[in-house]
Structure 1
Amino acid sequence: MPKEMGEGYWQRIRTYSSIDIVICDVRFHKKMTMSSKEGEHNINLGFCLGDSIRWSAEGRKGEFGLDPGEVSAYGVLQTSNRCQYDVDRHFQGLTLKLNHMKSIGALQHLPLHKMSAALSGNSGLFNSGQMTSSMKRIVHDIIHCHYEGDIKHIYLEGKVLELFAVYLNEAILEKNSPSPLLGLSRTDIANLQRAKDILDADLISPPSLSELAKLAYLNEFKLKKGFKLLFGLPVHAYVISRRLEVAFDLLEEGSMKITEAAYAAGFGKAGHFSEQFKRKYGVNPSEYFSQLRH
């Protein structure tokens, strides 16, 4: 940014698919107003990491906004946005612009009209909520990507699709009936949610697959197939992922050492935790949290 205006930067990265990544980290020395146009058939996900931000949309009443730690989905309709930036506030965030979604291979089979309705909610344009811990970690991985060149684009495209999938699952599908999207009955969804709640309640000693099926009023086949379809992971992989999340939160608080957090989250061996952590995040826990704190 020009020094007379403020400090910081905007960075735009285009992946191989029609996906733009926009990273913002700015402070203004004087009050600024900026405008942007959004194309038709686009969906944007905005993640607020700094101070609150507010904007208006042409032809729409009222004001839209994001507070720290919130995520929004907006777009779908062609519109012009107008955003005001106040002095000496820290605006930091990540925006994913999914352009012409039908051209994005991994998304082309989704029923876009139903998904757009779910994203838009009752407003027809905007849906917001809190970022989950899974979203926060993927956003961190995107912003702090250390790869270069073609490998960077491959890595970022995978992370963008992962973030979009997590958003759909955790912010949309779990709050709306996903039966039109996934072909599951309401009873199946309720029972699968029950299975997930049982696992979440006892990550250290979860029931076996057969026990879980009985507790959730499902047969094992429907449990295995439906759980992966609804939550994106097989049952065992989900337990590992949730244990990683618990350990991550404990380490982020700074009150425990790596070994202590691993045991508290349900990992029998600290080495197994480090192995799973590196498989998911690409680095070992000590390196990751050293970078995060820096």
Structure 2
Amino acid sequence: MESAAERWYEIANTVNRNCTLADNLNQLYRSSSSEQRIHMPEQLGRGYWQLNQIHSSMELVICDASFHKATSLQSLERNNSLKLSFCLGEKLQWNVEELGKEYQLEHGEVSAFGHLPTSSSCQFNVNQHIRGVTLKLDRLTEIGALQQLPLHKISTILTENREPFHHSSMTPEMKRITQHIFHCNYQGAIKQLYLSGKVLELLAVYFNEAILQKQPQPSLPGLSRTDIDSLHRAKQIVDAQLVTPPSLEALSKLVCLNEFKLKKGFKLLFGLPVHAYIINRRLDDAYRLLEEGKLNITAAAAAVGFSKASHFSEQFKRKYGINPSEYFKFYPQKENRR
């Protein structure tokens, strides 16, 4: 049977061996209850850590805390599971003692780790705000569809890079899902069901957008290596000119492909026709602007290339299942955007 200490981490305060926070975190990470929350001791700061048992082989930890006093914590990471940490707060920095190296995770990044046992130390500064979502997956998972997850691809990346951590940028979809997890207002069994669904959605998006799409592309029927290179250039041009993209005719000339091969190949390679891809990217950019709170809905729609706010709202609802004005009112700090 797995020992309690191997469930997540062993935490210690490098200065104060009687640290209440370290003791509480160890208790949290050893918990087998469906949900447990601990609060930051008042003398150190404010905030909380919450653990939810999604499945016997999968757990979720949500953290939202800030420090009033400089605190140094050390963690011993076991290699019995894969963990994904999504950073939604300020940048985190830590040292891995056996490697003598410093690592950092920026706001809006996700880190995959757990294939190597590591001993890390992290200094939290006064007024530092840590906020994030971490998923833990046991390697020998028996969770239905999760048996098909390409967990080995992450291990391969980490092994090839000879690093204990693999960082990548969070996509707009990842940010959207993590915000849903953070702002879950359900309780009891409904909350458990909701979080289970969101965690599976987050995993699917992460593996698709951060792992699988980064792998070398297989050969595609009817497309030469030169054609594929041209299609990637077409995507780069579209990404750089989302507000006023070139027409299909102009784009085909820019990348030296006929329109038929451009349309067919683009959908085959990137999963969407060119026009649908542009709409989807515009929605992602508008979502980010609205999330940042810098623009209202009409201004955000115009900024990304929608000539009519009504068309933007229609496309937003088609993608997210809800009107933008209704969606963002779920977040108190964003009410003034409408």
When residues 60 and 201 of structure 1 are mapped into structure 2, their CA distance, relative to the original with a 3 A threshold, is: closer
Q: Name 2:9's counterpart in structure 1.
A: none
Q: CA deviation at 1:67?
A: 3.3
Q: Does residue 226 in structure 1 map to residue 226 in structure 2?
A: no
Structure 2, unpaired ranges of 5+: 1-38
| Larger deviation, residues 240-249 vs 84-93 | 84-93
1:244-274 per-position Cα deviation (integer Å, ceiling 9, x unaligned): 1232244345554323432443335433322
CA–CA separation in structure 2 for the residues paired with 1:163 and 1:69: 14
Would the aligned equivalents of 1:142 and 1:159 in 2 still touch at CA under 8 Å?
A: yes
Counterparts of 1:189 and 1:165 in 2: how far apart (Å)? 25
> Structure 1: where are the runs of 5+ without partners?
none
2:195 corresponds to: 156
CA–CA separation in structure 2 for the residues paired with 1:27 and 1:165 = 30
CA offsets per residue over residues 86-138 of structure 1, 9 Å max, x none? 44422222222232265344443355433422255523321224444443333
Say which of 34, 50, 54 aligns to 2:89.
Answer: 50
Mean Cα deviation higher: 89-98 or 200-209: 200-209
Q: 2:75 aligns with which of 24, 31, 35?
A: 35
- Alignment CA distance shift 1:86-1:268 (3 Å): closer
When residues 16 and 209 of structure 1 are mapped into structure 2, their CA distance, relative to the original with a 3 A threshold, is farther
Deviation of 1:74 after TM superposition, in Å, equals 1.6
Deviation of residue 242 (structure 1)?
A: 1.0
In structure 2, the partner of 1:239 is 278
Equivalent runs, 1:207-222 vs 2, <5 Å: 215=255, 217=257, 218=261, 220-222=263-265
Contact 2:109 2:170 in 1 (8 A): yes
The number of aligned residues is 286
Answer yes or no: is the 8 Å Cα contact 2:95–2:120 preserved in 1.
yes
Q: Distance in 2 between matches of 1:163 and 1:97?
A: 13
| Structure 1 residue 73 corresponds to structure 2 residue 112 | yes
Tell me, what secondary structure is at the counterpart of 1:95?
Answer: strand
Please tell me whether Structure 1 or Structure 2 has the larger radius of gyration of its CA atoms. Answer: 2
| 1:1-294 map, 5 Å | 1=39, 2-16=41-55, 18-30=57-69, 31-40=71-80, 42-57=81-96, 59-100=98-139, 102-119=141-158, 122-168=161-207, 170-172=209-211, 176-179=214-217, 189-203=228-242, 215=255, 217=257, 218=261, 220-228=263-271, 235-252=274-291, 254=293, 256-267=295-306, 269-281=308-320, 283-290=322-329, 291=331, 293=333
2:155 is paired with a residue whose SS is helix
SS at match of 1:63: strand
Is the 1:192–1:216 contact (alpha carbons within 8 Å) kept by the matching residues of 2?
no
Three-state SS of the structure 2 residue aligned to 1:103 is: coil
Distance 1:133 1:216, change over 3 A: farther
Residues 189 and 45 from structure 1, CA distance in 2 versus in 1: closer, same or farther, beyond 3 angstroms?
A: farther
Shift of 1:48: 2.3
Flag the structure with more relative contact order, 1 or 2, with Cα contacts below 8 A and sequence separation at least 6: 1
The Cα of 1:170 is off from its aligned counterpart by 4.8
Q: 19-28 vs 267-276, which deviates more?
A: 267-276
Structure 2 SS opposite 1:51? coil
Give the drift of 1:72.
1.9
What is the TM-score when the length of structure 2 is the normalising length? 0.67
Superposed displacement of residue 158, structure 1: 4.0
Shift of 1:173: 5.2
CA distance in 1, matches of 2:195, 2:309: 29
Q: Is the 8 A contact 1:213 1:220 kept in 2?
A: no
Answer whether contact 2:231 2:265 (CA < 8 A) is retained.
no
State the alpha-carbon separation in 2 of the partners of residues 108 and 242 from structure 1.
31
